[in-house]
């Protein structure tokens, strides 16, 4: 009797079957590898979308047409939105889900590891389609990220590529969501009941449900555009008896939950970080779970606040106005709970906490402008102005993106085994928050003064604020290169990270070594 | 992740009467939800999709329906796949002078018998991007086991099997 180690017979069966190099990444089914690939992909797309944004801001630096033609400006606007929403923010959160959910619930991997690999590898071809659409006749899609007809029905093949890309990205999201739901519900470590799960898992569980519910709606809507374009259907063609407003209803029935898809996981990340650096348990865990669920449910009945100006009965306007305002209640519960968690906590302000606090402050401002826009008579005045642009960038940049930064700094030691440079991290935060506000705060004033969005030229009265906004945008963009440097430096070396580098951190992920081993849980997790 | 059950160590009297008693290792997949609850979860995912699709289709956007159907089919397939793995198990036990490996993978069961005195436990620790390998080898053939176990469970199972088989052989001799 003997125990044989590294025996050739075993090599024949298994060891050499494990690919290395590039093939490791192409064929991997490991949740950490796939999470890493999601995060790098999303950062790459963030840079691509950011470059498009800087091109937009360059054109808007001065009144008049300087750099691009109006139709190219519209293409840049559209692709900036599509790439940031579907290529940067969503995949980034899926990357976090891949990395952290199995670690947090004590599972060895995702429920469908091979499907997880497919989910990721659908993304690069879709991204490629979006990028190469700039080079086809007529250029990229230019109808805005909402793809409203009749513009989207009339455009060149760039729109077909965008529709194809969105289908692929949607398929990826659906596969990822099914994987996340089944992993969270079916693979929790013994003893980890639902109400003991980390908030990040809860928010992702609810997000995955939202994605599953609304993705077929998007797929159907863009397929109808496709058939209108090529098969002479008239779903949205008024001349053929169709209704362009139907598209708006259908799109926003997907689109508004989509907004929450991009913010609920951010709530989860912030809910992990604040207790860790306040060194107190999260205040009102149960109410946080119910508030998240409430936001998700309410997100299905508020879509028409995006289209108050299309003309709808006063009753409908009132319903959608009040329903939208109602969302402020569970959101307020969350903000209250985060602040209450900090109250009398033994707080320190490392970079993750700074970004989390920045998130609360700036996201709340975005929430308040959302409340303003929920009021129908005000929205009718501000519709399609820069006030709306400022509002959703406060929610999605200062909300989603700041939470993503917070999450990266928080879990980077666990991912890489090294501590990042704290000084540079803090510099990244302060520069980001300052330049963000320089970029977007002034856009409130532009919108209130009546500057329309998606227009490359503007009246002279808007010149100063646009100049300030462009300077801020370039500052914000360059600051993100600092983030790249910090992350790459951390991967390449640095101070060795402890298994639990944050004193107040709680959760199973901190029970495994740093960096987390390729196959998690060398000791079985115990949840009490 | 799996769950591994190792039988309790038997009394010394029982060991003396049958040296192989006590060598028993069973691995099953870990499932947080019972099959019944899982069915409810699947229904809870499909019903909102169907309701949303029906409402949108009723407004004229009927092309949502095939995509909703596809998605529901995918959800059902995923949950059926999970259910198919519920009854998976793998047991290693000793009977007389034989080591018996029984396993069921997605309804396909097999039983392999090894000569207790010839069988070898093969264990290769995990490496970077590579899981550990636990296998039983006899007469030139290698039979991997432990796919329902975590890394630590596979390591513990390797130690357990080596120790228990050695004891059983010594007692038999």
CATH number where A222 lies: 1.20.210.10
Question: In terms of domains, do A283 and A378 share one?
Answer: yes
Comparing alpha-carbon positions, the chain A residue that sits nearest to B2 is: A108
Q: What is the DSSP letter of A345?
A: -
Q: How far apart are CA A502 and CA A420, in angstroms?
A: 13
Q: Positive or negative CA dihedral for B7, B12, B14, B19?
A: positive
- Which residue did the predictor score with more confidence, A486 or A6? A486
B38 Cβ under 8 Å from any chain A Cβ = yes
Residue A135's CB is within 10 A of a number of other CB atoms, namely: 10
Q: Is the CB of residue A35 less than 8 Å from the CB of residue A82? A: no
A3-4 and B120-124 strand pairing: parallel
Is A524 within a domain?
no
B37 closest CA partner among B86, B100, B2, B77:
B86
State residue A164 phi and psi, 5-degree precision: -60, -45
A497 closest CA partner among A485, A518, A512, A482:
A512
Is A127 within a domain?
yes
pLDDT band at B139 (very low <50, low <70, confident <90, very high): confident
Comparing alpha-carbon positions, the chain A residue that sits nearest to B70 is: A216
pTM for this structure? 0.90
Ordered alpha helix ranges (H), A188-313: 199-230, 244-261, 264-278, 285-298
Question: In terms of domains, do A396 and A481 share one?
Answer: yes
Average pLDDT of chain A to the nearest whole number = 93
Put simply, the answer to whether A187 touches B41 (Cβ < 8 Å) is: no
CA distances from A123 to A37, A169, A176, A261, A506 (A): 10, 6, 12, 18, 33
Put simply, the answer to whether B74 touches A209 (Cβ < 8 Å) is: no
Tens digits of per-residue pLDDT, B141-153? 889 888 888 777 8
Question: In terms of domains, do A191 and A312 share one?
Answer: no
Scan for tokens 């996340």, then name that residue: A180
Distance, in angstroms, between A121 CA and closest chain B CA? 18
> Average pLDDT, stretch A305-312?
94
Q: Is the CB of residue B133 less than 8 Å from the CB of residue A15? A: yes
Q: How far apart are CA A302 and CA A387, in angstroms?
A: 19
B172 Cβ under 8 Å from any chain A Cβ = no
Domain of A220, in residue numbers: 29-247
Q: Is the CB of residue A446 less than 8 Å from the CB of residue A466? A: yes
Q: Measured between beta carbons, which residues in chain A are less than 8 angstroms from residue B144?
A: 13-14
Q: What is the DSSP letter of B135?
A: E
What is the ipTM metric for this complex?
0.89
- Number of domain units in chain A: 2
Q: Measured between beta carbons, which residues in chain B are less than 8 angstroms from residue A24?
A: 129
Substitution target from A35, A216, A316, A521 for chain B, most B beta carbons within 10 A? A216
> What is the structure's pLDDT at B168?
78
Nearest to B150 among A3, A518, A521 (CB): A521
Q: What percentage of chain A reaches a pLDDT higher than 90? A: 88
Put simply, the answer to whether A212 touches B75 (Cβ < 8 Å) is: yes
B59 Cβ under 8 Å from any chain A Cβ = yes
> What is the structure's pLDDT at A527?
57
Is A149 within a domain?
yes
Tens digits of per-residue pLDDT, A244-261? 999 999 999 999 999 999
SS3 call for A190: coil
Residue A228 has pLDDT above 90, yes or no: yes
How far out from the chain centre does Cα B120 lie?
A: 21
Give ∠ CA A208-A318-A144 in degrees, rounded to 5. Answer: 55
B84 Cβ under 8 Å from any chain A Cβ = no
CATH 2.30.29 fits B2-31+87-172, yes or no: yes
Q: What are the residue numbers of the active site of A?
A: 80, 109, 145, 172-173, 256, 258, 260, 271, 305-306, 331, 334, 453
Residue A226 CB-half CA count within 13 A:
16
Q: How far apart are CA A15 and CA A9, in angstroms?
A: 10
Tens digits of per-residue pLDDT, A148-196? 999 999 999 999 999 999 999 999 999 999 999 999 999 998 889 999 9
Question: In terms of domains, do A82 and A163 share one?
Answer: yes
């Amino acid at each position: 009797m003997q125990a044989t180690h590294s025996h050739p017979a075993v090599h024949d069966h298994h060891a050499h079957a494990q690919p290395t190099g590039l093939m490791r990444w192409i064929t991997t089914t490991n949740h950490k590898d796939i999470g890493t690939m999601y995060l790098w992909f999303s950062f790459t797309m963030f840079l691509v979308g950011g470059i498009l944004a800087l091109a937009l801001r360059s054109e808007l630096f001065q009144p008049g047409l300087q750099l691009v033609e109006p139709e190219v400006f519209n293409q840049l606007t559209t692709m900036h939105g599509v790439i940031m929403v579907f290529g940067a923010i969503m995949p980034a959160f899926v990357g976090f889900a891949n990395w952290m959910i199995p670690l947090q619930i004590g599972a060895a991997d995702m429920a469908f590891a091979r499907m997880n690999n497919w989910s990721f590898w659908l993304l690069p071809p879709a991204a490629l389609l979006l990028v190469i659409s700039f080079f086809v006749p007529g250029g990229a899609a230019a109808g805005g990220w909402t793809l409203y007809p009749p513009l989207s029905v009339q455009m060149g093949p760039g729109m077909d590529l965008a529709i194809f890309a969105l289908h692929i990205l949607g398929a990826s999201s659906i596969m990822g969501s099914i994987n996340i739901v089944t992993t969270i519900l079916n693979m929790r470590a013994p003893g980890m009941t639902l109400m003991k799960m980390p908030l990040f898992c809860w928010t992702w569980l609810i997000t995955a449900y939202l994605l599953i519910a609304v993705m077929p709606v998007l797929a159907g809507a863009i397929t109808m555009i496709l058939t209108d374009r090529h098969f002479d259907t008239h779903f949205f063609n008024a001349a053929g008896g169709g209704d362009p407003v139907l598209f708006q209803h259908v799109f926003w029935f997907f689109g508004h939950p989509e907004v929450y898809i991009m913010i609920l996981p951010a709530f989860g990340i912030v809910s992990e970080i604040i207790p860790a650096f306040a060194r107190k348990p999260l205040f009102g865990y149960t109410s946080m779970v119910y508030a998240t669920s409430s936001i998700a449910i309410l997100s299905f009945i508020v879509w028409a606040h995006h289209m108050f100006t299309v003309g709808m009965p006063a009753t409908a306007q009132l319903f959608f106005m009040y329903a939208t305002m109602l969302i402020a209640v569970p959101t307020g519960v969350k903000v209250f709970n985060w602040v209450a968690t900090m109250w009398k906590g033994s707080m320190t302000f490392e970079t993750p906490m700074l970004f989390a606090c920045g998130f609360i402050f700036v996201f709340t401002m975005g929430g308040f402008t959302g409340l303003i826009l929920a009021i129908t008579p005000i929205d009718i005045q501000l519709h399609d102005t820069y006030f709306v642009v400022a509002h959703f960038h406060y929610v999605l940049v200062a909300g989603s993106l700041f939470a993503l930064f917070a999450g990266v700094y928080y879990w980077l030691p666990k991912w890489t085994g090294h501590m990042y440079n704290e000084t540079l991290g803090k510099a990244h935060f302060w520069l980001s928050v300052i330049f963000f506000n320089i970029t977007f705060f002034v856009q409130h004033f532009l919108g209130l003064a009546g500057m329309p969005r998606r227009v490359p030229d503007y009246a002279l009265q808007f010149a100063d604020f646009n100049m300030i906004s462009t300077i801020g945008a370039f500052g914000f963009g360059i600051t993100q290169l600092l983030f790249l440097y910090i992350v790459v430096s951390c991967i390449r070396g640095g101070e060795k990270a402890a298994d639990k580098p944050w004193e107040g951190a709680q959760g199973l992920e901190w029970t495994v070594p740093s960096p987390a081993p390729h196959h998690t849980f060398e000791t079985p997790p115990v949840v009490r | 992740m799996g769950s591994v059950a190792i039988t309790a160590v038997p009394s010394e009297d029982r060991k003396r009467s049958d040296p192989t008693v006590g060598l028993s290792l069973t691995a099953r997949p870990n499932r947080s939800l019972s099959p019944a609850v899982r069915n409810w979860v699947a229904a809870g995912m499909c019903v909102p999709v169907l309701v949303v699709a029906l409402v949108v289709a009723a407004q004229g956007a009927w092309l949502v329906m095939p995509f909703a159907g596809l998605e529901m089919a995918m959800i059902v397939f995923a949950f059926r796949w999970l259910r198919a793995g519920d009854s998976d198990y793998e047991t290693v036990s000793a009977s007389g002078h034989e080591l018996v490996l029984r396993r069921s993978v997605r309804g396909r069961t097999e039983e392999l018998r090894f000569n207790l005195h010839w069988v070898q436990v093969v264990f290769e620790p995990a490496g970077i991007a590579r899981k550990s390998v636990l296998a039983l080898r006899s007469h030139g053939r290698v039979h991997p086991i432990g796919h329902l176990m975590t890394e630590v469970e596979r390591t513990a199972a390797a130690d357990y099997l080596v120790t228990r088989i050695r004891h059983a052989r010594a007692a038999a001799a």
